[in-house]
Amino acid sequence: MTLRFNDETFRGDYTYHNSAAAVRRFPFPFDQDSYMYSVNIEPHRPTRAGSVFEHRFDVDEHYVAEMQDRAITLADDPLRCQSLPHMELAGWDFLELVMVCKSEDYPDMFTLHRDGDRWHWINRPLGIDQRFTFMDTSTLPCGPLEYIGRQTQGDHALLDQREGNLWMDAGIVTSQADWSLDFNIGMNFFEWHAPVPKAHELGIFQRALKFLTNVQQGKPSRRLNWTMTVNPRLDTSPENYHKWGPEKRTITPENVGAKQYLRVELQSFYRLPRSNALVFPIRCYLISLEDLVTVPKWGRRFHRVLRDLPDELAEYKGFAVNRSMIVDYLARFDDGAETSAGIFPD
Partner 1 sequence: MMLRVASVEPLSPLVTKFRFVHPDGAALPLFSGGAHVVVEMPDGEMIRRNAYSLVSDPMDGSGYEIAVRREDLGRGGSLYMHTRVAEGDLLGVGAPANLFGLDLRARKHVLVAGGIGITPFIAQIRQLTRLQLPFELHYCARSRSEAAGLALLPDLPQVHVHISDEGNRMDPAEVLSGQPLGTHAYTCGPEGLVAAMADAGARLGWPEAALHSETFLAPPPGKPFRVTLARSALTLTVGPDQSLLEALEAAGVDAPWLCRGGVCGQCETAVLSCHGRIEHHDHWLDDDEKAAQTKIMPCVSRFQGQDLILDR
**Footprint on residues 264-293 left by ligand HEM (CB under 6 A):** 280
Binding residue for ligand HEM (CB under 6 A) from 52, 204, 305, 326? Answer: 204
What, of partner 1, ligand HEM, none, does residue 273 touch, CB below 5 to 8 Å by kind? Answer: partner 1
Least distance from C-beta 191 to partner 1, angstroms?
Answer: 15
Q: State yes or no: residue 237 binds partner 1 (CB under 8 A).
A: no
* CA 58 – CA 101 distance, rounded (Å): 10
CB-based burial label for 306 (10 Å; 0-12, 13-18, 19+): buried
* CA 231 – CA 251 distance, rounded (Å): 10
Interior angle at CA 23, CA 65 and CA 55, nearest 5: 70
Count of residues engaged in binding partner 1, rule: CB under 8 A: 20
Q: State yes or no: residue 161 binds partner 1 (CB under 8 A).
A: yes
* CA 180 – CA 82 distance, rounded (Å): 11
**Footprint on residues 274-333 left by partner 1 (CB under 8 A):** 274-276
Q: State yes or no: residue 22 binds partner 1 (CB under 8 A).
A: no
Nearest Cα to Cα of residue 260 among 270, 268, 250, 269: 250
* CA 251 – CA 322 distance, rounded (Å): 7
Active site amino acids: 223
Least distance from C-beta 144 to partner 1, angstroms?
Answer: 14
Least distance from C-beta 277 to ligand HEM, angstroms?
Answer: 10
Phi, psi (deg, nearest 5) at residue 122: -120, 125
Residue 275 CA, distance from chain mean position: 23
Q: State yes or no: residue 273 binds partner 1 (CB under 8 A).
A: yes
Given the rule CB under 6 A, which of 4-12, 95-103, 147-155, 194-202 is the region that contacts ligand HEM?
194-202
Q: State yes or no: residue 219 binds partner 1 (CB under 8 A).
A: yes
**Footprint on residues 81-110 left by partner 1 (CB under 8 A):** 84-87, 89
Phi, psi (deg, nearest 5) at residue 292: -60, -40
CA 267 vs CA 72, 210, 214, 270, 288: distances in Å:
23, 17, 17, 10, 21
Interface ranges with ligand HEM (CB under 6 A) = 37, 39, 41, 157, 159, 166, 168, 177, 179, 184, 192-193, 195-196, 199, 204, 208, 212, 223, 225, 227, 280, 316-317
Interface ranges with partner 1 (CB under 8 A) = 84-87, 89, 160-163, 210, 213-214, 216-219, 273-276
